[in-house]
Every structure is written in structure tokens, then in C-alpha cells.
Amino acid sequence: MTTRWTRKDLLGLRELSADEINLVLETADAFKEVGTRQIKKVPALRGKTLVNFFVEPSTRTRTSFELAALRLSADVINISATTSSLTKGETLKDTARNLEALLADILVLRHSSAGAPQFLASRLKASVINAGDGAHEHPTQALLDLYTIRERRGKIAGLHVAIIGDILFSRVARSNIFGLLKLGARVTLVGPSTLVPRQFEKLGVEVSHKIDDVLPKADVVNLLRIQHERQRREYFPGLGEYIRLFGLTKERAKLLKPDCLIMHPGPINRGVEIDSDVADGLQSVILDQVTNGLAVRMAVLYLCGGISSQ
């Protein structure tokens, strides 16, 4: 490994090189091993303070970051706030001041506004880790998806990955697209034209509105959650129609290659984007994604947190 990590922040996968992404994945290999030990805790970030600042609700990502930080022996503070009580610019500046006052070394930020992590990263000495900003990026989710594909298939280059569902509003899709393309995968986005517009082709991916054409060719299908809470009628005629046209039903899953991986960032809407039986089936790696998320987040905290204090 000749690449060195020089970033104090992880804001997105768009700005990372393929070598940097691979360095995170290799570092995560080492931290995954820690999870197999009798004592699953190492002193790498002892004495450092991590603040989980989640302006949007999240259980799984926040818990994953919290456990990752605890396993690295960092101290963790969780702060949450409701979006409604905040207005963007001023509040973020105040947030920054408060975090500096807490002497935090690492800030994990989830925010409804794209660019909020960038805004704080340029103003704080602390490391800023983007845990999802608006419909922009969710880099650690994409890194754990990449890690899971690489673990199961031994490589990423040359694989055909289908990302299915609500791409337009999805930061998970965006980060995955950047990461997968940098590592040499072929990416096809699938969904209704309202949620998967042709403009995405400019990123270097293929776009399809017919799931049955794509499924037989895919090595990985990544199903995104249909975000009821964000949907408005103009994008989305109804759940029944979505399931009929794009849901990964038991019948449709028969079109998949036998070794095709089924992924989902969670939380699953069973019976909507994916049938219950398919989510629990042999091809599903949905729970591996959760386990790997811990190792990947430990790697990111170690790399960024180890840099920031210099």
C-alpha cells in the first residue's frame, strides 16, 4: 500500500481517488478483524472526543458511528436537533462555535442541507465526517457497500451493479455511483423516469426504466428505500404501481443470476422495494452490510481522526 491518507475530513466519494478508496477498504479489513477478538476494543483513538451531530433522524448510522468510535476508545457525545428549529447559515456557524467549545476532535454530521459538512469542515480544526447531507452524498454508506461487494466477489472492477429505486433523492445512490465508477464497475440506474431522469447518464452510468431487462445481467442489485416521507404525488403514482413495475418480488428475483448479490442500505420496506422472502434469502447480504459498516466507519475515523491531531 503506497497511498497515504492526508485528509482530515470525509465529505464525499466524488473527491476521493481510487487509491484512497482502496486504502479505506484495506484499513477496514484490519478493523473487521478486531470484531472477532475476545476484547473488541483497541486504543487507537483513546483520549479523542467524537460528537455525533444528527440534525436529521437516524438510528442505524448514528449507532454504527457510535459503536465504531467506542471500539476505537474515543469518547462519544450524541447531539440531535430537529430540522424545523434550525435555519441553515447562521445555525451552522453557531454549531461550529459550540463544537469548538466542546474541544471535539471529530464531528460526524448528518444534515438535511447538501454542503453542510463542507461548510463546517472549512471552519473547524476538527475532522468532519459526512454521515449524509441532503440528497448530496453519504460516503460511509457507499464505502460499506463497496466493501461488501469486494468481500463477497473478490473484486469490484468489471462487475455490473444495478441501483434500483429513488435515485433522484438518494445520497446513497450518488456516493455509490462515484465510488463504483472510480473502482471500475459498470453501473445501471433503474426506476421510473420521474425518479431516474436521463440526466444521470452524464455521470457515466446507464439509465433504464425496465427492471426486467437489467436483472438478468446484474452482478449486484442495490435496492434503495422508497422514501415515503419525501415523496410527492408528482414523482410517484402510488406504492401498488411501484411494486408492480419496480419491486424486487419473489417472481422477479428468479431473473437474477444465481450469484447476484442483493443489497439494501436499510431500513427495508418489506413488500415494497423488496419482498420479505428475497430480503431474507441466500443472495441477500443486507446484514453483512450492517456488520461491515462498523469496520468501514472504524477505518474512516482512524484515518481522519489520526490525521487531525497533527
Partner 1 sequence: MKPRKQNSSAAVPVMDAETIRRALRRIAHEIIERNPQLEQVALAGIPARGVEIAQRVAGFIREVANVEVETGIIDVAMHRDDVGTRPELPVVRASNLPLPLEDRTVIIIDDVLYTGRTVRAAMDAINSFGRPARIQLAVLIDRGHRELPIRPDYVGKNLPTATREQIQVRLQQTDNEADAVWLERES
Binding site for partner 1 (CB under 8 A): 1, 4-5, 27, 29-34, 37-45, 48, 72, 302-303, 305-310
Please, which residue, 44 or 70, has the CB nearer to partner 1?
44
Angle, nearest 10°, between helix axes 286-308 and 18-34?
110
Please, which residue, 5 or 91, has the CB nearer to partner 1?
5
Least gap, CB of 128 to partner 1 (angstroms): 17
Please, which residue, 40 or 198, has the CB nearer to partner 1?
40
Least gap, CB of 175 to partner 1 (angstroms): 23
Least gap, CB of 286 to partner 1 (angstroms): 24
Sign (positive/negative) of CA torsion 188, 189, 192, 196?
negative
Task: Decide: residue 17, CB within 10 A, 0-12 exposed, 13-18 middle, 19+ buried.
Answer: exposed
CA distances from 200 to 196, 221, 260, 274 (A): 7, 18, 24, 24
- The alpha carbons of the chain give a radius of gyration, in whole angstroms, of 19
Please, which residue, 30 or 102, has the CB nearer to partner 1?
30
Least gap, CB of 179 to partner 1 (angstroms): 21
Least gap, CB of 265 to partner 1 (angstroms): 26
Please, which residue, 85 or 310, has the CB nearer to partner 1?
310
> Which three cell numbers mark 147?
466493501
Least gap, CB of 64 to partner 1 (angstroms): 18
Cα–Cα distance, 57 to 267 (Å, whole number): 13
Please, which residue, 43 or 154, has the CB nearer to partner 1?
43
